[in-house]
Amino acid sequence: MTAEIEKFTYDDAIVRKFTLMTFVWGVVGMLVGVIVALQLAAPYFNFELAFLSFGRLRPLHTNAVIFAFTGNAIFAGVYYSMQRLLKTSMFSKTLSHIHFWGWQAIIVAAALTLPLGITQGKEYAELEWPIDIAIAVVWLVFAFNCFGTIAKRRERHIYVAIWFYIATLVTITLLHVFNNLVVPAGLWRSYPIYAGVQDAFMQWWYGHNAVGFLLTTPLLGMMYYFLPKAANRPVFSYRLSIIHFWSLVFLYIWAGPHHLHYTALPAWASTLGMLFSVMLWMPSWGGMLNGLLTLRGAWDKVATDPVLKFFVVAVTFYGMSTFEGPLLSVRSVNLLSHYTDWTIAHVHAGALGWVGFLVFGMIYWLLPRLFQTELWSRKLAEAHFWIGTIGILLYIVAIYAAGLTQGLMWLAFDDEGYLKYGDFVETTLRLIPMYWVRVIGGLAYLTGTLLMGVNFFMTWKRRPATYDVPVHEAPALAKTYTDRPEPESTLQKSGAHVVNLAYKLDRFFSTTWHRRWERLPLKFTVAVLVTVVVASLFEIIPTFLIKSNVPTIATVTPYTPLELAGRNIYLAEGCYNCHSQMIRPIRAETERYGDYSKPGEFVYDHPFQWGSRRIGPDLQRVGGKYPDLWHLRHMDDPRAITAGSIMPAYPWLLTGDLDFDFVESTMRAHRMIGVPYSDEEISGGVMAAREQARAIAAEIVVQGGPEGLAEKQIVALIAYLQRLGTDITKPEPLAVEEETGPAEAATETVDTAAAVEEAS
């Protein structure tokens, strides 16, 4: 029987839109990247303007390049390849349009709110709850459109690229929802339901897997489609793609805690993350080899085709990054690399090399097809390739050098056993030349992207007056499908059990069952979901439910209303982008910063503020270290206090009024997530905050500072900074109340000494 041949067209208009916005947001994200790089080399580029300060712009850079540039590129690649691999148009043009405009609106909302200091204060998850809800809705629209397309396909088999898309759709949904569970305290302010250790765990479960399932799996899917297309050769090994896919999906989800070595996260969790990270090396390199070997016999084309050049460098950087990632996850290497620019170099090798170049290669391949004309200039594309490559090399070589310099200087002791570089700024000053090289590298990369814009525009100009919409033909899939039945074995009946077992094993390894899965998208999706959820729960459940993970410290109490307000300012200014609040239990850190951090110190921290890099020193024990006036002058003009500091000035905090009206709603939101504020404390919150503010303002005057600061934002921030890390030095209360912390885990009361013992 011959199936009815159906005619259909592909919707390339939506691909054109996403491709254009990939370029537009790419330029924006990279431009902001160059600005923040400039600010680190020369802090006067902060211009003493709140909305241009580093702490607010850096999240804009990361969000723009991850969600706007890469996001739009992924959508362009998915919409183009999925239609063709499934031999159907997208499920719904309306959904495609809602997806496109919704995503652009989200990006605009991010671009407006982040410079205004509206943030959740968690890296790569800064956007506030209304935008998070919009992201979830638009993402589900995208997912629905994709699964609908799969449902109406005319190709029974689902190609490997679509497996990676499915993994992305499933996992990003989970990550986004569970890391952004918050309690709002107004339209533009919220607090995560998790605190301290648990929040850190969830954040890096999210953060690492966002790299895995937003910057890796969809791009691998695109690699499996666009690389064979560009090379006009099939993928090297379909079998290798199977192992690449399943092992990547299975292993990646465990790896997040390696970001938290030597922190207050229990060692078992970070060790587990490390082990799975090391195992990840194998599937990652399997994928890299699969990509590069696809070009076997076609390497001559690489010399002349800029698209293949971009792809080859992209896949090579994928291999380099996925080798370096497991290396950095090893505890002893992490000791040196963590908090340094080494991590930044690693991230940018992956982002600029793997993500950026794969996207550029895809765009150059798409442009002639989308605009139905030849690429305007291959030479310009070649120029983009070389300028971009030089830009990457300048960037990463300088920042690898900066990272190693930082790590080694921070750990160095002199012959007498003192810190060799006890003043933090000594290291900073050593890095400035490398930061300038980074600016040049970033500018080169941006210049290359602008050249692509010229090529994009000129190619678009040469488009036909009306686009030709080819009509394709393919037979409809039968409504019902039954696999060929397994050949019947007579071995069982004849009693040859051993031979029968061997026969069954042989059938198993013939992989018929996996090919059957490839025809069953629902089953395939459920398998991915189970893989991801089970692996996540193996780490999440013990982290949340085992009491000894977070021994409560009796002297740790909730923040005062003013400190809470100060913490809001700390979050809004993005201080976590430069300062950690996590002293690792190693001598180089305890000598420099003070007693190492204990899990129980963070039970009221919604969100945690451990940070991931130290452009400035750790602040965990900064409380009481300097007078109030020192903080005021430091925030007003950092270089007047520390010559050579690259910290931005925050003069607006000295003149901006503190919004006391938010105190009560902030306290109420915190109580909802487990912070034990009483009704009286909440109703008297504003009064208590004003009282503490007046006391700090008076103290500043006594110390020789200006008058009239009791209503200003700076006093709240000073209150918060002076509180940091001081709880463990307070005398223990006489009667210890058994208290339930924000996480149910925090119910065990132990004294500070016991906590120290347990943590060690």
Partner 1 sequence: MSLTDVMSAADLSSWTELALILCFITFAAIVFWVFVMRGKASYENLRNLPLDEDGVNSSRAAAKGGEL
Cis before 607? omega within 30: yes
Structure tokens at 705: 């500072």
- Give the residue with the Cβ less far from partner 1, 78 or 745: 745
* Residue 339, φ and ψ in degrees, nearest 5: 75, -5
Among 47, 101, 157, 733, binds partner 1 (CB under 8 A): 157
Tokens of 609: 């503020």
The H or E element spanning position 610 is: none
**Min CB(741)–partner 1 separation in Å:** 12
From the CB of 547, what's the least distance to partner 1, in Å?
A: 5
Helices 196-214 and 238-252 cross at an angle (nearest 10°) of 170
Question: To 5 degrees, how large is the angle CA 150–CA 94–CA 470?
Answer: 65
Helices in 462-586 by DSSP H: which ranges? 497-509, 512-517, 521-545, 561-572
Among 447, 489, 492, 511, binds partner 1 (CB under 8 A): 511
Which residues ranging from 477 to 506 are in contact with partner 1 (CB under 8 A)?
477-478, 481
Classified as helix, coil or strand, 653 is: helix
Report the residue from 101, 186, 538, 753 that binds partner 1 according to the rule CB under 8 A. 538
H/E stretch holding 300 reads helix 299-304
Q: Binding string to partner 1 for residues 542 to 561, with x set by CB under 8 A, is what?
A: x--xxxx-------------
Q: Which two tokens stand for residue 723?
A: 């509180």
Instruction: Provide, rounded to whole angstroms, the least separation between the CB of residue 294 and partner 1.
Output: 10
Does position 246 interact with partner 1 (CB under 8 A)? The reply is yes
Mask for 161-180, x = binds partner 1 (CB under 8 A): x-------------------
Where in 249-278 is the site for partner 1 (CB under 8 A)? 250-251, 254, 268, 272, 275-276
Among 422, 433, 475, 644, binds partner 1 (CB under 8 A): 475
Strand partners, 184: 190
Give the number of residues in contact with partner 1, rule: CB under 8 A: 61
Virtual torsion, Cα 615, 620, 626, 630, nearest 10 deg? 40
User: Quick one: which of 100, 225, 252, 400 contacts partner 1 (CB under 8 A)?
Assistant: 225
* Residue 401 Cβ vs partner 1, minimum distance, rounded to whole Å: 36
Of the pair 238, 413, the CB lying nearest partner 1 is at 238
- Binding of residue 247 to partner 1 (CB under 8 A): yes
124 three-class SS: coil
Site for partner 1 contains 515 (CB under 8 A): yes
Cβ atoms of residues 759 and 548 within 8 Å: no
Options 109-117, 472-480, 641-649, 722-730: segment touching partner 1 (CB under 8 A):
472-480
- Under the binding rule (CB under 8 A), the answer on residue 289 touching partner 1 is no
User: Footprint of partner 1 on residues 69-108 (CB under 8 A)?
Assistant: 81, 84-85, 87
For the purposes of burial, counting CB atoms within 10 Å of the CB of 492, is it exposed (0-12), middle (13-18) or buried (19 or more)? middle
**What part of residues 516-535 is at the interface with partner 1 (CB under 8 A)?**
518
Under 8 Å between Cβ of 53 and 650: yes
Cα three-residue angle 209-210-214, rounded to 5 degrees: 120
Could you tell me which stretch among 36-44, 46-54, 97-105, 235-243 binds partner 1 (CB under 8 A)?
235-243
CA-based angle 142:147:148, to the nearest 5? 95
Q: Which region, left, alpha or beta, applies to residue 134 given φ > 0 means left and ψ of -120 to 50 means alpha?
A: alpha
Interface residue with partner 1 among 13, 27, 111, 279 (CB under 8 A) is 279
- C-alpha span between 32 and 754 (Å, rounded): 47
Cα 728 to Cα 715: distance, rounded to the nearest angstrom:
23
Of the candidate spans 70-78, 108-116, 257-265, 510-518, the one that interacts with partner 1 by CB under 8 A turns out to be 510-518
> Is residue 510 a contact point for partner 1 (CB under 8 A)?
yes
Query: Which of residues 2 and 416 has its CB atom nearest to partner 1 in the complex?
Result: 2
Binding site for partner 1 (CB under 8 A): 1-3, 5, 81, 84-85, 87, 154-157, 159-161, 224-225, 228-229, 232-235, 238-240, 242-243, 246-247, 250-251, 254, 268, 272, 275-276, 279, 472-478, 481, 508-511, 515, 518, 538, 541-542, 545-548, 744-745
